Amino acid sequence: MMSKKKFDPHLIPLPRKIEFGEADVDIFDWRLDVQTALPETLQKSYLEALNLRMAGKGGGTVRLLLDTVLPREGYAFEVREQMIEVRASADVGFFYALQTLKQLVKNCYMPLCAVEDEPVLEMRGFQLNVKFVRQLNFENILQFIENAASYKLNTIMLEYGDRFPLKKHSVINARDALTEEQLKQIVTCAEDHYIELIPLMQCIGHLEYVLQHDSYKHLRENPDVTSQLCPANPEALALVREMLEEIIALHGSSLRRIHIGGDEARQLGVCPKCAKRVAESSVGVMFAEHLNQVCTMVTEAGLTPIIWDDILCKHPDALESLTRQATIMYWDYWSSDDQSPLLIARYRGEDCKLDHLGVIYDTYWNDSGKTATYANIGNRYSHAENMNDIGDDFLKRFGKYLGPEFPRLIKSFPYLEYYQDHGFDVLGAPSCLGQRFDLADGLENFSRTIPNMRGFAARCAESGSAGMVTTAWFNYPVEFLYYGLLATAQYTWKAKYNFST
């Protein structure tokens, strides 16, 4: 029987339940006893990580037992004087148990303890944007996948951009594009470490890497803007299909989902054909028609499409028209783990009198007696507005999600339930790195991004969301990504913490 000794184990992620005894046990040269069918690679990992052997007498035993009552990613183990008994219902559970044991063992000494553990969020992920982070090379990617798995993340979202090895449209490929062989190794590495890879391929906006080339400039929505293709051009849809087919083919049978982007499509309705379609319906309906065609390409391949939420929020009629087979990824890089004055207002109703949308807060907080409490809101790329001018149209659509203290304080991540109420599965997307440094000393503003990740994870758990993927943008040193990885691992596994455990 374990005592409830207070002990700070420095584990990431912190197990749901852990109790410690009063001593350590030397497990050097113990024997591994596998009582269930496990891959040889996983058995080898136990042997190497804990310095065990498969045969022989003497010493203690690490016994792996099947327990079908435990959830798929859950596990339990107890460290006794002559036995470590590890239980799980699936390979991944035994894998996660080993990651905790690896953090506990010190020079072959293991504390007497009992652990019961399982994640609170189904998807626990991180974005590797090799399109933006050019410092990420092939070796970095493999190492990041392995490290993500060691902290029990189970998803990596890879945005390739011009670094995917296209064949039919090879003119798009950058000089530092991954090779086909490298990509196959990345897929295998992810599979070996119980990581789901989700490729992200933009289907309308953020296609500068394509539309900058002369051979594709006729596909632009606006001839002077390289970021967005024209949804009314059938050649544009054919291009998207051909790129998707190559990405899907190279990711193999383990591929389950693909992110088709769809964010920040700010040129919608510029070209004459699109302007006519908008006049006949709306920007939102035209946008949804294009996304639905791309979603069909994905679902016909047996996969689930994922879409960014911002244009759907800005044009709610797009949300009404979008296929419910799509999953919405809701990005919000400003809300935190508590109510705050900040509102992300993307939609402008007919009666809205605000000068600006985006990240705003009520002018109430401009009073000199209140700024001390919320001194950092002006550093979050936000500005003050009179919330009374936001309009009844906005409030009719979103008001019930903003919390009872609106307009002074806003419920954190209010659109989670909004999208769910429209029949969609929703994934949260905070950020650990933004467009520019917030602090004068050249570091990312951790005081902003940590509460953003922590709060999003807690709200995803509260709302029953499918999970969370932390984003990271721009060409920072690769090492910057790891603090976001660790924070994501900690918060998505347990979401809300009782540090007295």
Average pLDDT over residues 358-365: 89
Q: Domain ranges in the chain?
A: 17-117
Percent of the chain topping pLDDT 90: 79
Of the candidates 149, 152, 137, 127, the residue with the CA atom closest to the CA atom of residue 259: 127
pTM as predicted: 0.93
Give phi and psi for 19, each to the nearest 5: -130, 140
pLDDT of residue 484: 94
pLDDT of residue 436: 55
For the segment(s) 17-117, the CATH number from 3.40.50.1220, 3.30.379.10, 3.30.70.580, 3.30.565.10 is 3.30.379.10
Burial of 186 (C-beta count, 10 Å sphere; 0-12/13-18/19+) = buried
Tokens 């087919």 appear where? 245
If you write DSSP's letter for every residue of 406-426 in order, what string do you get? Answer: TTTSB-SSTHHHHHHHTT-EE
Which SS3 state, helix, strand or coil, does residue 50 take?
helix
Q: How far is 156 from 102, CA to CA, in rounded Å?
A: 22
CA Rg, the chain, in Å? Answer: 25
Handedness of CA 68, 74, 78, 82 (dihedral sign): positive
Q: Is the pLDDT confidence value at 500 over 60?
A: no
H or E element: which one contains 441?
none
**Which of 144-153, 192-201, 272-281 has the lowest average pLDDT?**
272-281
What type of residue sits at position 203? C
Q: How far is 312 from 144, CA to CA, in rounded Å?
A: 32
Which pLDDT band, with edges at 50, 70 and 90, does 381 fall under?
confident
Per-residue pLDDT tens over the stretch 56-99: 666 899 999 999 999 999 999 999 999 999 999 999 999 999 99
Residue 336 sits at the vertex; the CA angle it makes with 330 and 339, to the nearest 5 degrees, is 110
Which pLDDT band, with edges at 50, 70 and 90, does 497 fall under?
very low
Contact residues for 375 (Cβ-Cβ < 8 A; gap 6+): none
Give phi and psi for 356, each to the nearest 5: -130, 155
Q: How far is 84 from 436, CA to CA, in rounded Å?
A: 48
For residue 45, CA distances in Å to 66, 100, 224 come to 18, 13, 55
